Structure 1
Amino acid sequence: MSTALTAAAWQQHRASVYRYLRRRLPSVELAEDLVQETFLRLHRTPPQTETPAQLRAWLLRTARNLVVDHYRARRDEVEVDDALAADDGDRAAALRTLEPCIAPLAARLPEQYRAALLWDLAGVPQQEIAARQNIGLSGAKSRVQRARNLLQQEFQHCCRYHFDHADALIGYTPLAASPACSGVAGEGPP
């Protein structure tokens, strides 16, 4: 659809699409986002009609489908503890919060990384991790960081992250269909 036609449809139908969405969604922001998505879909793949009544019906049907998709995605979403979304940047605390959920993934890591990660999650100081693994402090720090990165990669294969408007992690959805997620789907934070 041309930009001019999309703009005209926006002017004519935006308010009714917004009212429709706002009655069915928990927040103004989400309703506004889905209004925009509705009109993006109109612009990308317009219906085969030109009449205003049929166009309005198409827009409302598209908006309804977006609401259904939103709630379907939320059904499987797991909320994350507030400690994970804290602004303190303490990644180890975030990992400790998710430990019960990610234990099966940690088991997939090579032994040296798995041990360093599990000790880190348990709050063992990195100097003690270095002593336990018979390596230097800088080596222990590198090993813990590498273990965290490997675990994050494993986690990303199994879950879709959800962030708020400030890019703070607020939840995740296990991707049960992924073969990499056996033993993980359905588990979540305590």
Structure 2
Amino acid sequence: MVQDCNIFEIWEEYKSSLYRFILNRLPYEQDAKDLLQEVLLKSYQYCSKGKTVLYLKAWLYKIASNTIIDYYKKAGKHQPLIDDLVEEENSESAIGEASVYIKALLQLLPQEYAIPLAMYDLGDMSQKDIAEKLNLSLVNTKSRIQRGRVKLKERFLECCAVAFDENGEMISFDIKPQCKELQAEKMRLEKLF
């Protein structure tokens, strides 16, 4: 669907997820901020000519990918595989955007599941270390992590509208209006950028 190229509306909607996309591919935060500004400038220059865009989100991520590639070429640094950037572009943007809200969703789970799950998946602790730290048996720890994942997935699907492609890859993600906790987190994140 062709959409008007109003860069100010577009930028407000996508700058947070674009920043995370760029930051995941660069070693320094300041470089990511600089590249984000380059993406804004490139998109503004295009839109100021009165042009329209077919798929806004994909278009912005393509600009970001090309800007990252240019960054590595100019710096003479090791460049990530171009194909990897292009292939990951759509699924990575949706997955990356969704993953930002995992910590907020974890806070909605009962502590008995949220804590071991966070320690295992976000803290990279072994199940054995988690069991010792929480004074649980290893079997109980494994069970809580598995149940936590199920509950997290249920809350995610309850709070988010998600679309998948034919390969089962996430291609779009949006927070449902009735999910007040994630809407509040989204607003908090948008204020940071």
TM-score range, shorter chain: 0.3 to 0.5
Rg larger in structure: 1
TM-score normalised according to structure 1 size: 0.45
TM-score normalised according to structure 2 size: 0.44
